[in-house]
Amino acid sequence: MKRSPLAVAAAVIALGMTVSLAACEGQIPTVSAPTESASANPDLTEDQEQEMREALLKTIEDCNEQKNPANLGQAMSGPELEIRTSELQVAQKTGKLDPKTTIPTDITQTVIPTDNGWPRSVFSITTTTEDQQSKRLLVFTQGDARENYKLWGVARLFQGVEMPKFTVPNIGSQMGHPTDENLVMTPEQAVQRYADVLQNGTKSQYAGDFADDYFQQDLQNLSQTVQQGMERNKGSQEQTFTPVDGQMQIMRSSEGGDLVVAQINSVWTRTAGEGRESLPASDSERALFGDGKATSTMKVTYVNVIAMYIPPAKSGAQITTVGAERQPVKVEAV
């Protein structure tokens, strides 16, 4: 079956989004001495973080080589488990992993919490990849004292972003909470409102609260290109973005703001007009759809991981998205 011009255009733009994110070089967080004595010492050392991280990445690499997600649950959780499972399912069909799945083994910075309770998280920044893709922000989480750490989230950092400062690892940083105050808005509010901006663009009442970023730009370009084809064929499209309850990790910076990493799921529904079929819009969508029978309407579910910095309330600054990851996880004709 021949692909419509609409499907071809969407595929090109969707691929462009992947390239744009992967090619961006992010600046790493810098360290600073604390302004006052810490109330607790971190339970995890840098050597322990390295041992934990390398063991997890080895398990993940074994799954990559086999192109089999069966054992991913031993090393991953949260949105990253959903994303990498999809990426390996795609690789089974295409015969190769997308370059964006690469996670460097070396890091340039780690942020270790002082919190002694659970659940808790560790944020680490990798080096660039061998092919000069951007640094990755890795989020590891431990549910309780009897559980091992797992890789919960990965976000590719954007070019030129200014990251917040954190205290040195042997002193540690404090984890934040969704309801943290003394910020321009709470993390919970920020994630909800950013989802509204992604869905409604400049029409969102919260658009002015967020600085422009690569993720918004790519989504807007994709939507505009697909819309042009839809209008020619009397079709329609809609994207909805919904924060996932409980899927948020937060670390407080020494500057008073919060670095937040959150999962926002989205559903992209495309309806072809004039008796046409709606087809997958990228290689990943095509692989996940497989031998499914196309109809006039296609619904694609995406998992988006968003990393953002929320500045202190008195700063008057906008919230800055510093990195992101996006992957389709389900493609269906409806």
330 membership: H or E segment, kind and range: strand 320-333
Could you tell me whether strands 236-252 and 166-167 are parallel, antiparallel, or unpaired per DSSP bridges? unpaired
Instruction: Give pLDDT tens digits for 163-180.
Output: 999 999 989 999 999 999
Torsion, Cα 199 203 205 207, to 10 degrees, reads: 70
Mean pLDDT computed over 20-45: 51
| pLDDT at position 21 | 53
Judged by average pLDDT, the poorest of 162-171, 198-207, 209-218 is 162-171
| Residue corresponding to tokens 């969508």 | 285
Could you tell me whether strands 107-111 and 31-32 are parallel, antiparallel, or unpaired per DSSP bridges? unpaired
Query: Residue 30: is its pLDDT beyond 60?
Result: no
The model's pTM: 0.88
Mean pLDDT computed over 58-71: 97
Compute the residue count for the chain.
Answer: 334
Query: Residue 265: is its pLDDT beyond 90?
Result: yes
Average pLDDT, the chain: 89
Instruction: Give pLDDT tens digits for 139-169.
Output: 999 999 899 999 999 999 998 888 999 999 9
As beta bridge partners, residue 236 has 271
Strand, coil or helix: 164? coil
Mean pLDDT computed over 120-139: 95
| pLDDT greater at residue 327 or residue 42 | 327
CB 206, CB 318: distance < 8 Å: no
Domains in the chain, number: 1
Domain that residue 128 falls in: 5-333
Query: Residue 74: is its pLDDT beyond 60?
Result: yes
